[in-house]
Amino acid sequence: MRGLSGSDAGFPRRLRGRGDSHRIENIIRPGDYGIAKIIPSANQHPTEKPVELAEHFIKLHTAPGDIVLDPFCGSGTTAVACVRTGRRFIGIELDEKYCKIARERVEAARKGLTIQEIRTGQEVLFGGNDE
**Average of per-residue pLDDT values in the chain:** 77
Q: Is 118 a domain residue?
A: yes
The verdict on residue 120 lying in a domain is: yes
Residue 40 within any structural domain of the chain:
yes
Q: Is 43 exposed, middle or buried (0-12, 13-18, 19+ CB in 10 A)?
A: exposed
Q: Answer whether residue 109 is part of any domain.
A: yes
81 occurs within a structural domain? yes
**CATH value at residue 97:** 3.40.50.150
Q: Is residue 65 part of a domain?
A: yes
pLDDT value at residue 1? 39
* Residue 34 backbone dihedrals phi, psi, to 5 degrees: 75, 15
pLDDT at 130: 46
Determine, yes or no, domain membership for 15. Answer: no
Asked if residue 109 has pLDDT above 70, the reply is yes
Over the stretch 35-62, which tens digit does the pLDDT of each residue have? Answer: 666 666 677 666 778 899 899 999 999 9
Q: Residue 33: pLDDT above 60? A: yes
- HEC-encoded secondary structure of 34-52: HCCCCCCCCCCCCCCCCHH
- Residue 11 domain-assigned? no
Total number of domains constituting the chain: 1
Q: Which of 116, 112, 64 is nearest to 89 (CA)?
A: 64
- What residue numbers bound the domain in which 69 lies? 21-125
